Amino acid sequence: MTLRFPAVLFDLDGTIVDSARELIASVLHALAQVDDREPPDKDTILMEVGKPLEVILRELGYPHSPEDVRRFTETYRAHFAAHCAEEAGVFPYLTEVLDALREAGAKLAVVTTKHQEQAELTVAQLGIADRFDYVRGWLEGRKHKPDPEPFLEAAARLGVEPREALVVGDTEQDILAAQAGGMTSVAVTWGFRPLLMLKALRPDFIISRPTDLLPIVVTAAGA
């Protein structure tokens, strides 16, 4: 077997982790601490998932002063951390795909807008931390998706050039960042965005099953 891409950079929520219910519940819980208005419906919230928390608050039309953002983010993170391990889980066959990629020699990383400590806690709680060589979450004062910087940093940490890295994600944040960083992009259909929206982004690949990733990354001997 040979590797087309020696490094694979994964988004977390909606790509590896089936956490839609927990994310929506955490956003609703945190919004109630900022303003007591009628909350947005779940579909509206789901379309915001994957963006930085302060962006979610602003785009949902809520007050977003520094104090509002602080209260929202702290409440959201505490609520999600308390419920993720109990209710969220890795998508079916994803763990096996991660293992197959590692066995083939690929280096793996997580790149997420989730706070750094929470990102590391999430992969640990789900029992997949040892599959990844690097986890890059939200860091104060740093750029985040859709800026390519976190993906470029992850590629550098894994010792590969941008063109050697494959970005796998379920939202526009991932695909736009990959394109801006000169990386190959894979959009997954089991996450938080509808297929038509993903197609409009023109990723290099669109896959509907985790196992579809393997032939993109790994080439059989003699192929």
Distance CA 200, CA 187 (A): 11
Nearest 5°: phi and psi at 166? -110, 125
d(CA 82, CA 122): 11
185: number of CA atoms within 13 Å, CB side? 26
Sign of CA dihedral 14, 16, 21, 25: negative
∠ CA 23-26-32, rounded to 5°: 140
Of 13, 18, 170, 174, catalytic: 13
The total number of residues written for the chain in this structure: 223
Alpha helices in 66-204, H assignment, sequence order: 66-87, 94-103, 116-125, 149-157, 172-180, 195-200
The one-character DSSP state at 76 is: H
Is 13 catalytic? The answer is yes
From CA 53, how far away is CA 49, in angstroms rounded?
9
Can you read off the two tokens belonging to residue 112? 């997420």
Catalytic residues: 11, 13
